[in-house]
Chains A and B, each alone.
Chain A
Amino acid sequence: MSLDLLGYGAFFLATALSFGIICLGLNIQWGQTGLFNVGVAGFVAIGAYASALLTTPETAGRFGGFDLPIFIGWAGAAAIAGLISAAVGALTMRLRADYLAITTFGIAVTIQLLALNLQSLTGGPFGIGFIPRPFAAVQENALLFNLANLALILAVVTVLYLALERLLRSPWGRVLRAIREDETAALSLGKNARAYRLQAFALGGAIMGLAGAIQGHFIGFIAPDNYVSALTFQVWAMLIVGGAGSNRGALLGAVLVWGLWSASGALIAALFPPDQQARAAALQIAMIGIMLAAILLFRPRGLIGERGTVSRFVG
């Protein structure tokens, strides 16, 4: 029994941390650079599909199936997501914040639509299955499998976190924050604000793509339904709750909100009869929505976002 619990705990934490990686990516875009990306789900999807297409065996009627190793899939996911983010950024960077929000929102909707309908590329509504899972050899043993994957994801998170912390304290990171707060002042320093913003957007997008790949490989199956606006708003809630502008906040928020999500899911499963489960699941989303609004009202800096180092954008 306690082993099951441990196994579940590992699974929970692994999933929460994979969301944490998405939050880290969003933190670069929003927390550090002030870019309002409402299309997070789209970039996660790009990474997930890229990696899936690179690593799955050949499938009739569908592009891809290159059967490459997992780590190549992940690298490819990050690279492709990063490239597409750069392209999107190049087109949209000069839009003011709310127009950027609407546009990125539209991009995610379009990406999901493409994933759903381009069956020969993405498998359509059926998605892509048989995605190679890390430590597949032990997947029969739930405890070992979940612990091993947790360790892997934890390693990735640690490396990312340390690298990002280093990056953000570097001159590059300082310029980014200067641009976020006061573009005119930053421009007067002779820095090409647009180039910096583009780099930040692309880096954030690449990290989101990587997270999408990690999630896809962990579960072994992806479908267009995973990448809808609910995902975007969940991630935003995580980042805001934890504290935008802070990498630790991003990770904390992810674990916390995912925890609330899982706990509420368990509660619903316990309280509602099976035929009512679907409609009761809507309450989980309502809860996330209310929580996001409440945090913005009462504690906009989030749990561990520090006053002063957090942008005037956030409060």
Chain B
Amino acid sequence: MSAPVLRIADLVAGYEVDVPVVRGASMEIARGEIVAILGPNGAGKSTLIKAVAGLVPIFSGRVHLGERDITGQKTHDLIRHGLAFVPQTENVFTALSVAENLALASAVLPRAERRVRLDAMYDFFPDLARQKALLAGRLSGGQRQMLAVARALLVNPELLMLDEPSAGLSPKLVELVFAKLREIRESGVTILLVEQNARAALAIADRGYVLVEGRNHHEGTSAALLSDSTVAELYLGSARRAATS
């Protein structure tokens, strides 16, 4: 059996040495899966994914991408190893045009591949193809998100990580984005997403991990998590209580 695409083992990470936000999280993502990381606000979901992406210091634990140990690797090398990350905010260069954003991302590819992959992205995201010359700062929220995803997908990553892809988007746009993610998985890319919107995430994910206070709390298939009362309590408890009072 091949190694999991991503393996996180007992990760402790945070912004300041004495204040870890992630306090011992572990998970495995197999090839071709869509896996969601869920949990209440402040659980450390974003910090975890940023630590994997090399943007947040890792204090202990290990991260493996396939066979390769990428713990503490420099962020800019990770994309060459096949790890693409879409941050939650500020995920496109607003001062560059759509075409320039993508051209920049293509620079890590061998010269021969660039044109092919760019054309593939424009095929996959026809809206972007129509607005190549537009400054990314002028795109709507949904289109920006698409550009951010296109930029990450351009390099044909092994693993695509997204930090709250639904944030700030209308329900209709969320549907569109998540439908796109399904398409992406069908093309063979493994996906890891951090999501506040548990329902939308579990609708497309195969499995989920629930993080609470920086540690693993719960895990299971989407179906199991959706029907699990404790998970519902974590997310929907306050809403249900509010509705019934």
- Whether the complex brings A and B within 8 Å at their CB atoms is answered no
Residues in A lying within 8 Å of B, measured CB to CB: none
Residues in B lying within 8 Å of A, measured CB to CB: none
